Structure 1
């Protein structure tokens, strides 16, 4: 948690940098932006301009999701590309590190999960729009200067990484999980794709939209390099509310998985082994939800809403097994 002293020190550092950009404008206070799940996220004004600041929590190491400068790096590499992202305007690598980016006006709403509801036609158009954005993201040159791309993860590496997460969930919270991991390992695809830039959590909930247009892809905490089907298998999960029992709601007219894949491919040949990557996406969702539920029950993060997750966790594992049958 950030103390008043920590926040005052961070505010002073941000103001000093933004004052160089806006020498004759008042710089406002940092205001917490709700909804963030990693690091600290604030908004701040400088005259008529508005920015978002992401910072490492005081006392924590800048690793993993807290490595905010890693996020700034991918945003900088994508600046001016065909992938819409906020522009990074300032950064400071002194600890705790932080960076500031343009405030992108828009809404990021996952139609089958989030409130407020989006008109069905708008939700459909947005989902098809961002399928094209994902294609352009995967077309990014991973040798782009400043990106500092990590070593690529293939299907085996991605499976190993998320298997560890699922194994950290108590067995009673992941019924059928061991069988699913065995099936995934036994059916591991051998046809690796050329590594691409991956968002890691690509979906409408992480794309700010204005009307039917995507204006900014946000939340780059877990970007990586690897098989494009990793992003696709995750993205396809969110087109059907039935994947989320007790959580999702029906949205008529959303694109089917086949429509999204056709839009993404844009005339290119079909992608093989997609059922395996669809099953992998479900396993990952079960692992994340199981982790969150475990933390709630252990008293590490009190959130009674987590008690709604068991039916969806079970459904994710069950339908993933069905895909691999």
Structure 2
């Protein structure tokens, strides 16, 4: 069955459920949302209301990033605790899908995206996000039954596999870095709810206010330090040679860390997690570049990545001492 036929059937199911929520209201068409979304992501209107629909792609198993029901569960679990889109419909029949409120706002990564935002506004958003991340980690274990806590060694193992699948010429020094990380892996902290890709590019903002944290495809339950280190990585354009843009006045890693801690002691062994964040970024970029060069996913823009991959590996090693 063609993808077009599957999407047409999905549209019928979505319109039927939304008609129950909005009797007599005119229903719009199911339109694909542009951007780097996982799975199938659409928008649709029902009268004055607007929704985002996420669905399992045709022919795919509902696992990992395609497990949209798992995403719906965490969004519902966070309602009232964190600014997230409200889930209005969940349909577990295959292929599964759910609908959530369409939250208007900007999701802009200051040092990586092309934009004309005021640097002061970017700085205030970054500091606000540090507090938001602290709130997520302090929200307490959610009533979610399907997330096995990950300790630092398991997190390292996950990204080591990704790094080692990258051709050696794209990850010079990477093997030594992985070995050094493995030899010095710290003990884990009590597990908390984690986003997995927490940064300004995944938070819709209105002015300086975070309106909704989105993209919960890889949320987990584990040590909070990987989330924090990943967020801080995006504070400095120098981490991304040939990709980053210098914006005077942005909050740096130290200021954002202080905003996150809010007077609490610094987390132990945090430099290890700063190095791990750079290892993760190098592995992801190397993976994407390999897919482009192999023809799996053609994207010539990936050819800009080698200097940043090299910088991530080099600075990770420097952080470890």
User: Normalising TM by the smaller chain, what interval?
Assistant: over 0.9
- 1:300-324: CA deviations, max 9, x gaps? 1110000000000000000000000
Q: For 1:207 and 1:251, locate their aligned partners in 2 and report how far apart those are by CA, in whole Å.
A: 19
1:170 pairs with 167, 174, 183, which one? 167
Distance in 1 between residues matched to 2:91 and 2:171, nearest whole Å: 41
Q: Does the residue aligned with 1:51 lie in a helix, a strand or coil?
A: strand
Name the CA distance, whole Å, in 1 between partners of 2:111 and 2:231: 13
Matches within 5 A, 1:121-132: 121-132=120-131
Aligned length: 321
* Cα distance in structure 1, aligned partners of 2:207 and 2:32: 26
Aligned to 1:158: 155
**Which stretch of structure 1 is more off in the superposition, 212-221 or 250-259?**
250-259
Give the C-alpha shift of residue 2 in structure 1.
Answer: 6.7
1:149, distance to aligned residue in structure 2 (A): 4.7
Cα offsets for 1:59-95 (capped at 9, x unmatched): 10010111111111100000111x1000000011111
Number of the residue aligned with 2:49:
49
Instruction: Tell me how far apart the structure 2 counterparts of residues 37 and 106 of structure 1 sit (CA, whole Å).
Output: 16
Please, which runs of 5 or more residues in structure 1 have no aligned partner? none
Q: Does 1:251 align with 2:247?
A: yes
CA distance in 1, matches of 2:266, 2:307: 32
Q: Is 1:201 the equivalent of 2:231?
A: no
| Distance (Å, rounded) in 2 between the aligned partners of 1:301 and 1:290 | 13
* Runs of 4+ in structure 1 over 4 Å off: none
Structure 2 counterpart SS, 1:239:
coil
Contact persistence 1:233–1:281 (CA under 8 A): yes
- Cα shift at 1:170: 1.0
In the alignment, the residues of structure 2 paired with residue 233 and residue 172 of structure 1 have an alpha-carbon distance, to the nearest angstrom, of 27
Partner in structure 1 of residue 263 of structure 2: 267
Query: 1: CA distance between counterparts of 2:189 and 2:4?
Result: 49
When normalised by structure 1's length, the TM-score is 0.97
1:234 — aligned with what? 230
Answering whether residue 15 of structure 2 is matched by residue 15 of structure 1, we say yes
Determine the C-alpha separation between the residues in 1 that align with 2:268 and 2:2: 47
TM-score normalised over the length of structure 2: 0.98
RMSD: 1.1
Aligned to 1:301, which of 280, 293, 297? 297
Q: Check the 8 A contact 1:174/1:290 in 2, yes or no.
A: yes
Aligned partners of 2:88 and 2:110: how far apart in 1?
31
Distance 1:307 1:188, change over 3 A: same
Contact 1:149 / 1:225 at 8 angstroms: preserved in 2?
no
1:29-88 CA-to-partner distances (Å, cap 9, x unmatched) read 11111113310111000000000001111010010111111111100000111x100000
* Separation in 2, partners of 1:99, 1:161: 29
